[in-house]
């Protein structure tokens, strides 16, 4: 292990010097006091919330840090667990994670900027119990990990260490792999944070450790090669290099070694295409504000326009949105409920956190998106209220809000979720109408196959054979790589053929 407490001193001194220069260059009017919560200690660790965000410092051995975690977040862990137990998780992975890094010629100041969105249908739970963990493991590199109060930070997916190495995880579809193995990979990523000072050292750990699961992992550093995407499965690993000092990834493999032709999810490819457009448009201009704008981007390439409920980077399922700057160990975390990226980003300094100088931290914040609170935002508020109600099993409430969202701005995603809620109430004719309205909005949406599947299941239960046949045939014709749904449709059609013989 290269890094020790002594070897970290130069990096921390540089970061603290940068923060000090910024501090003394600002006027008193530009330096509002940082809002801090009550400091609560347990053993070597402590909790000190900042600007309304839960911040927990864990120090010492693994056993000591777990005890600190459980003591300092006891109420939040209990609340998270209770809320999760009542949560009706959707049967498909809605949306998906996005990562992008820009540096050198792509950056307006030459610094490395790493933007990361973590997306998952955990609305009403994951977004309400977000936490920043400052972790100082005994004999290892300290790091910051952004996650949830109900997730012990042994699992790391969004992080940066004191050596200036950041990472962001994204699930990627691959044959024989499942998203359920993500926590296995997250434990390896924690070892990267604790042991690696460079991208090369991080890759060496990934090559050495037994892996289980498939993922894209964006690694960024303030030293060459500055940023890469590591594509991995249980058996294979490939490293993608940046182009023109920019690199990005969503939820599919791009390398020749691991490209999986059966992964045809329109959402991941739409976001990837949009990242390509933005990387060209913003080349040479990337900074904090522009990176945040990318994470809030709501342009749907299928529709050729902005669509808050479409296949977009700033998806309704955005649980975490974070920007890392490895050069000076600063980072920004979006506050508030999903979609998080549109909310205010709170600035932090890992150097200040490790020095216990939270009150002196003067890293600026990024205001919420201008669209929040306007008339255009009403559809998002209606959809979020309806989606959360559905996930909590409150179907009648869900229908009320989702109908409003669908009225304000019809889209495939809103129609899909409205149809689910109506079907749960056994209002099947209304569900069919909602699903068909969703299909009419966007024939290229990632929700089309799930909508056809739900329609087919309704027709199947009703014994409407010809409608069922046509719907399942449509699923196979679309050929979107939705394995479970396509297998089900194929078996149902084969059963129909057999019954006629």
Q: What is the DSSP annotation of 338-392? A: SSGGGSPEEEEEHHHHHHT-GGG--PPPBPPPTTTTSGGGHHHHHHHHHHHHHHT
Count CB atoms within 10 A of the CB of residue 59. 17
**pLDDT greater than 90 at residue 441:** yes
**pLDDT greater than 70 at residue 18:** no
Q: Is residue 119 part of a domain?
A: yes
pLDDT of residue 152: 87
Sign of CA dihedral 467, 470, 473, 478: negative
- Each residue of 32-51: b (16+ CB within 10 Å) or e? eebeeeeeeebebbbbbbbb
**pLDDT greater than 70 at residue 9:** no
Residues 386 and 246 in one domain: no
pLDDT of residue 78: 95
**What is the side-by-side order of every strand in the sheet holding 45-47?**
40-42, 45-47, 54-60, 130-137, 143-148, 158-161, 165-171, 215-221, 227-232, 237-240
Residues 170 and 312 in one domain: yes
In which band, very low, low, confident or very high, does the pLDDT at 220 lie, cut at 50, 70 and 90?
very high
pLDDT of residue 84: 86
pLDDT of residue 25: 41
Residues 451 and 339 in one domain: no
- Pairing type for strands 113-119 and 130-137 reads unpaired
Residues 257 and 120 in one domain: yes
Mind listing the pLDDT tens digit for each residue in 38-80?
Answer: 999 999 999 999 999 999 999 999 999 999 999 999 999 999 9
For residue 349, how far is the Cα from the chain centroid?
21
In which band, very low, low, confident or very high, does the pLDDT at 91 lie, cut at 50, 70 and 90?
very low
Domain total of the chain:
2
**pLDDT greater than 50 at residue 147:** yes
- Would you say 166 and 220 are in contact if contact means Cβ atoms under 8 Å apart? yes
Residues 197 and 107 in one domain: yes
pLDDT of residue 21: 43
**CB-based contacts of 78, cutoff 8 Å, min separation 6:** none
**Three-state DSSP state, 266:** helix
Give whichever of 23-37, 101-115, 483-497 has the largest mean pLDDT: 101-115
208: buried, middle or exposed (CB in 10 Å: 19+, 13-18, 0-12)?
Answer: exposed
Mind listing the pLDDT tens digit for each residue in 179-194?
Answer: 889 999 999 999 999 9
In which band, very low, low, confident or very high, does the pLDDT at 23 lie, cut at 50, 70 and 90?
very low
Mind listing the pLDDT tens digit for each residue in 338-363?
Answer: 999 999 999 999 999 999 999 989 99
**pLDDT greater than 50 at residue 28:** no
Orientation of helix 199-208 relative to helix 182-195, angle to 10°: 140
Out of 360, 395, 419, a domain closes at 360
Q: Is residue 154 part of a domain?
A: yes
- Each residue of 72-87: b (16+ CB within 10 Å) or e? bbeebbebbeebbeeb
The average pLDDT across 228-245 equals 97
**pLDDT greater than 70 at residue 6:** no
Task: Strands of 89-213 (E only): list them.
Answer: 98-102, 113-119, 130-137, 143-148, 158-161, 165-171
Instruction: Supply the range of the domain harboring residue 438.
Output: 375-500
Out of 360, 388, 423, a domain closes at 360
In which band, very low, low, confident or very high, does the pLDDT at 30 lie, cut at 50, 70 and 90?
low
Q: Is residue 367 part of a domain?
A: no
Distances (CA, A) of 408 to 297, 317, 347: 20, 19, 34
Residues 355 and 384 in one domain: no
**CB-based contacts of 80, cutoff 8 Å, min separation 6:** 125, 129, 148, 149, 150
Q: Is residue 368 part of a domain?
A: no
- Would you say 346 and 333 are in contact if contact means Cβ atoms under 8 Å apart? yes
Q: Is residue 188 part of a domain?
A: yes
Out of 360, 394, 424, a domain closes at 360
Residues 450 and 339 in one domain: no
Residues 283 and 143 in one domain: yes
Could you tell me which residue, 264 or 201, shows the higher pLDDT? Answer: 201
Reading the block at residue 449, the tokens are: 């196959």
Q: Is residue 369 part of a domain?
A: no
CATH code of residue 451:
1.25.40.10
Q: Is residue 366 part of a domain?
A: no
Residues 239 and 269 in one domain: yes
**pLDDT greater than 70 at residue 19:** no
The average pLDDT across 148-160 equals 93
**pLDDT greater than 90 at residue 20:** no
- Pairing type for strands 246-249 and 98-102 reads antiparallel
In which band, very low, low, confident or very high, does the pLDDT at 8 lie, cut at 50, 70 and 90?
very low
Residues 333 and 405 in one domain: no
**pLDDT greater than 70 at residue 17:** no
Q: Is residue 485 part of a domain?
A: yes
- Would you say 396 and 424 are in contact if contact means Cβ atoms under 8 Å apart? no
pLDDT of residue 22: 43
What's the chain's average pLDDT?
A: 91
The average pLDDT across 322-326 equals 98
Task: Strands of 241-315 (E only): list them.
Answer: 246-249, 299-300, 305-306
For residue 490, what is the enclosing H or E element?
helix 483-500
Residues 314 and 345 in one domain: yes
Residues 319 and 402 in one domain: no
**pLDDT greater than 70 at residue 323:** yes
349: buried, middle or exposed (CB in 10 Å: 19+, 13-18, 0-12)?
Answer: buried
Cis before residue 339, ω within 30 degrees of 0? yes
């Amino acid at each position: 292990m290269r890094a020790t407490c002594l070897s970290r001193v130069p990096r921390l001194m540089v970061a603290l010097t940068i923060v000090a220069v910024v501090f003394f260059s600002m006027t008193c009017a530009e330096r509002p006091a940082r809002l801090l919560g009550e400091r609560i200690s347990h053993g070597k660790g402590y909790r000190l919330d900042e600007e309304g965000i839960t911040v927990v410092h864990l120090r010492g051995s693994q056993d000591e840090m777990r005890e600190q975690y459980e003591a300092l977040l006891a109420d939040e862990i209990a609340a998270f667990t209770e809320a999760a137990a009542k949560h009706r998780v959707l049967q498909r992975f809605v949306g998906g994670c996005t990562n992008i890094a820009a540096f050198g010629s792509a950056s307006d100041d030459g610094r490395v900027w790493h933007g990361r969105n973590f997306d998952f249908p955990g609305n009403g739970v994951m977004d309400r119990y977000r936490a920043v963990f400052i972790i100082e493991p005994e004999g290892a590199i300290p790091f910051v990990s952004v996650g949830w109060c109900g997730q012990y930070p042994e699992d790391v997916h969004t992080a940066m260490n004191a050596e200036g190495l950041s990472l962001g995880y994204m699930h990627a579809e691959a044959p024989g792999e499942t998203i359920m193995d993500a926590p296995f990979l997250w434990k390896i990523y924690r070892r990267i944070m604790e042991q690696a000072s460079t991208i090369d050292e991080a890759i060496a750990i990934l090559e050495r450790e037994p892996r289980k699961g498939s993922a894209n992992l964006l690694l960024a550093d303030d030293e060459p090669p500055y940023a890469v995407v590591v594509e991995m499965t249980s058996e294979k690993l490939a490293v993608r290099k940046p182009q023109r000092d920019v690199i990005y990834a969503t939820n599919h493999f791009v390398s020749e070694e691991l490209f999986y032709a059966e992964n045809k999810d329109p959402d991941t490819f739409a976001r990837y295409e949009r990242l390509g457009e933005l990387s060209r448009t913003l080349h040479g201009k990337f900074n904090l504000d522009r990176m945040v704008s990318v994470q809030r981007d709501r342009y749907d390439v299928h529709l050729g326009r902005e669509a808050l409920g479409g296949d977009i980077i700033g998806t309704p399922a955005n649980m975490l949105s974070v920007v890392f700057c490895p050069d000076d160990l600063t980072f920004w975390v979006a506050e508030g409920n999903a979609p998080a990226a549109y909310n205010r980003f709170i600035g932090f300094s890992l150097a200040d956190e490790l020095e216990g100088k939270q009150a002196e931290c003067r890293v600026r914040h990024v205001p919420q998106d201008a669209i929040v609170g306007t008339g255009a935002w009403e559809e998002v508020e209606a959809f979020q209220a309806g989606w959360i109600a559905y996930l909590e099993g409150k179907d009648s409430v869900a229908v009320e809000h989702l109908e409003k969202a669908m009225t304000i701005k019809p889209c495939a995603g809103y129609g899909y979720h409205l149809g689910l809620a109506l079907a749960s109430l056994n209002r099947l004719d209304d569900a069919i109408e909602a699903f068909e309205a969703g299909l009419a909005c966007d024939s290229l949406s990632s929700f089309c196959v799930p909508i056809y599947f739900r329609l087919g299941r309704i027709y199947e239960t009703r014994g409407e054979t010809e409608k069922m046949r046509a719907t399942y045939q449509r699923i196979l014709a679309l050929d979107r790589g939705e394995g479970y749904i396509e297998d089900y449709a194929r078996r149902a059609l084969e059963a129909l053929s057999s019954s006629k013989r």
